[in-house]
Amino acid sequence: MTTMTENASGLREFKMPDVGEGLTEAEILKWYVQPGDKVTDGQVVCEVETAKAAVELPIPYDGVVSELRFPEGTTVDVGQVIIAVDVSAGAAPAPAAPAAEQAPAAPAEAPAEEAQPEGRKPVLVGYGVAESSTKRRPRKGAGTPAQQGETLYAATAIQGELNGHGHGTAPAQQRPLAKPPVRKLAKDLGVDLATVTPSGPDGIITREDVHAAAAPAQAPAPLAAPAPAAVPQAPVQVQPQAPAPAASFDGARETRIPVKGVRKAIATAMVGSAFTAPHVTEFVTLDVTRTMRLVEELKQDKDMQGLRVNPLLLVAKALLVAIKRNPDVNASWDEANQEIVRKHYVNLGIAAATPRGLIVPNIKDAHSKTLPQLAESLGELVATAREGKTSPAAMQGGTVTITNVGVFGVDTGTPILNPGESAILAVGAIKPQPWVHKGKVKPRQVTTLALSFDHRLVDGELGSKVLADTAAVLEQPKRLITWA
């Protein structure tokens, strides 16, 4: 499908492209240009969010922006025109259109912020070079934290370097950090986010901050009447002011959030999985004291220096060993052809909670990686997911998944299969508990594993063996050597 059209007057219309994953729509998160701005071939003009990832769209020609067809926050179907550019010779910058889609302060700096590095190549499917389809423009992280905080999805990343679109521009008019539902709430309540004091991590504005900012604007109305009242009544009315935000919240008892983007994709996938694949979940509680000791030893190992070493790494390796011993579990169900497809590779999915919602990127060919290589891949996967830079390709082709619910202090769960996969392993919290060890009750590090599998292609015996072997490796890590 072509992503551009041109008329006789030299006006080119750029359409919402299919980023290569068969998606039908995308939401415009942010415009980096305004009508009247000059653009060059390969310059990023906007950021859009598909059901799988946030993607920057470059314009494939030089010219002057004539019109932005949709404002930020609009969901646009693939193939619809989103921007018009005048590419006629000697085109002069047109005056900015009055139909501004953003707040007037922020767009004024967008062109300066988005000056493109020389030699940038387009990354859209259909006209870009092959290698560009898997690489994104490097983020500029040399600015201040305020400049780096321009990208919403990096607000809760644990890494010190946050995503940003700043390019040396003064940070005086940076867009406040807030998630889309919070922005909608502020709009509904008439609250200017620029005036709100953030209380969330890394300066992100929360719902509570918006309600607190809205409360003073609503409070004077009821307090105006009792002003001339007798003095003894004053202390009585001062006390209820503490729960004022709650009173304001009662004024808007419900907030409706459109189902789109990642949340829509999650809902569709989970419903499809739950009502297509017959789920069976088995549990095992085990002593992982030796595994925890090994984790500490590996942190001091010179071959693991600079790598992410934690219990999840050894859980992943244990599951890979269990799959090698029971290869039939690594399969998928082909309903159309009525076939069971056995996979001779393992793309290990890791469920990651991000500001955009749950995503499941996977480590390609995890079965062939050494422990240091697996640690490196796991660290890159988690960091990329938390920064909101996971590509759609990274979430395709998974075979088996791990979800670590233990990080939330949860003992275990009954995870739902990722569509197209045969099994998912939930890892619970590791806690000191009384345990019979060598005939005596001692405090040991204990956890619970839960394995859900598709009963159409995984029988109870096979599922039980995979879970038991995974637990056996974690109880006796030396089996990583003897069984591998």
Q: Could you list the active site residues?
A: 455
Q: How far apart are CA 251 and CA 244, in angstroms?
A: 11
Q: Residue written as tokens 């499917």?
A: 125
d(CA 362, CA 373): 14
- Does residue 387 contact residue 159 with C-beta atoms inside 8 Å? yes
Distances from the Cα of 85 to the Cαs of 60, 68, 89, 455, 477, in angstroms?
A: 10, 9, 12, 54, 61
For 210, the token pair is 């918006």
Contacting residues for 230 by C-beta, under 8 A, at least 6 apart: none
**Residue whose structure tokens are 């030893």:** 297
- For Cα atoms 190, 191, 195, give the angle at the middle one, nearest 5 degrees: 155
Structure tokens at 269: 């996938």
Please give the distance of CA 56 from its chain centroid, rounded to a whole number.
15
Q: Which residues contact 176 (CB under 8 A, 6 or more apart)?
A: 193, 194, 196, 198, 205
Q: Please, what sign has the CA dihedral across residues 149, 153, 158, 162?
A: negative
Cβ atoms of 369 and 381 within 8 Å: the answer is no
Cα–Cα distance for residue pair 119/39, rounded to 1 Å: 14
- Where would I find the H helices in 350-437? 371-386
Q: Which residue has the tokens 């005048």?
A: 86
DSSP string, 255-300: ------HHHHHHHHHHHHHHTTS-EEEEEEEEE-HHHHHHHHHHHH
Instruction: Please name the amino acid found at residue 325.
Output: R
Q: Whole-angstrom Cα distance, residue 132 to residue 455?
A: 40
Convert 413-441 to b/e letters by CB count within 10 Å (16 or more is b): bebbbbbbbbbbbbbbbbeeeebeeeeee
**How far from chain centre, in Å, is Cα 152?**
11
User: Do strands 11-15 and 331-334 pair parallel, antiparallel, or not at all (unpaired)?
Assistant: unpaired
Give 215-223's long-range contacts (Cβ < 8 A, gap of 24+). Answer: 215/244, 215/245, 215/247, 215/248, 216/244, 217/190, 217/191, 218/248, 218/251, 219/244, 219/248
